[in-house]
Amino acid sequence: MKTLLQFLRNWTLPVSIASGIAIYLVFALVPALDGAARVCGPICDRILPLFMFLILFVTFCKVDFRRLIPVRWMLWVGVVQVLFVALLTLLVVEYRLKDNSLIIVEAIITCIIAPVAAAAPVVTAKLGGKLEQMTTYTFISNFITALLIPVCFPLIDKAANVSFLTAFLTILHEVCMVLVLPMLLAYIVKHGMKRLHRWVVSINDLSYYMWGGSLLIVSGTTAKNIAHADTSLTFLLIIALLGLVLCVVQFAVGRFIGHYFGATTESGQALGQKNTAFAIWIAYTYLNPLSSIGPGCYILWQNIINSVEIWLCRRRLGHELHT
């Protein structure tokens, strides 16, 4: 039992991904569970935002709010994100892409234009990075996304009926619900409810394991979306493979930028770890729904990379303790 618990602690993310996919397959392949699936589906949809709220609340309880200031690497990561989006938008306009070619580009661009994941500060802290810097960039990243979407999406897909003000306010509302409210609550608890605050921060890796729970739900939902995608297996594999390549490139470029500023971990997570739930939503809302397969696959790749990073970090710390 002790060995099993240690394994689960070390490999929380891949276990969550595999469990989410396995649970979906059980519900999908056993006809007797159809009724339960119809009941559980809406419940999971409602639980996920609550998970994200609680994850960030626990994370922000550990934040020193006086250190939430922009630093230089954030500028360059933001510039690279804008350049990537601009190049892909130009590609669509210049070559007038359509059909499957357009869907592929849309799948890629949603994984780039999406803001940094709300859980990125959790992973950054787990890797020994600066929690306050990632928290600061989370707000900056959402603002960049709010500006890019209403400018680029009408050029990419002529059917994308999105006004600048509507898109900006929609994203601003989501940022407030997902980021500002848990931060405000954490600030109140930290400065006005000391006993509760001490209890929250005393539980090791609480936000990390809660994130594992949310990842289980997201992985199951992703598996369902892919299984019900109205396209060929070959096309799905192309999008999945491109998502893997893009994920590796974004993490690598982010880390390359960060090594000039002594912020390799923070910069890598900032560019590579994306809010894929948000990316899936914007793909469904403004682009071809099939393009949502891109961020659906990206969430698997980025969490595999996160798992490897955490394993390497834990291994390095263990080696340092023994030397």
HEC string for 154-215: HHHCCCCCCCHHHHHHHHHHHHHHHHHHHHHHHHHHHHHCHHHHHHHHHCCCHHHHHHHHHH
Average pLDDT, the chain: 84
Q: How would residue 323 be classed by pLDDT, with cut points 50, 70 and 90? A: low
Domain assignment present for residue 3? The answer is no
Domain assignment present for residue 5? The answer is no
Helix and strand counts by DSSP (H, E) for the chain: 15, 0
Domain assignment present for residue 2? The answer is no
- Structural domain including 91 reads 13-321
CATH of residue 91: 1.20.1530.20
Per residue in 120-147, pLDDT (tens digit) is: 888 898 888 998 899 899 888 888 888 8
Percent of the chain with pLDDT over 90: 27
Place of tokens 């360059």: 76
Domain assignment present for residue 8? The answer is no
Best-predicted range by mean pLDDT (45-49, 196-200, 244-248, 283-287): 244-248
Domain assignment present for residue 189? The answer is yes
Per residue in 211-228, pLDDT (tens digit) is: 778 778 878 877 877 777
Domain assignment present for residue 197? The answer is yes
Q: How many domains does the chain have?
A: 1
How far is residue 323's CA from residue 316's CA, in Å, rounded to a whole number? Answer: 11
How far is residue 216's CA from residue 220's CA, in Å, rounded to a whole number? Answer: 6
pLDDT beyond 90 at 81: yes
Q: Specify the pLDDT at position 79.
A: 96
How far is residue 272's CA from residue 307's CA, in Å, rounded to a whole number? Answer: 13
In our burial notation (b when 16+ CB lie closer than 10 A, e otherwise), range 278-287 reads: bbbbbbebbb
Once rounded to an integer, what is the mean pLDDT over residues 103-126? 89
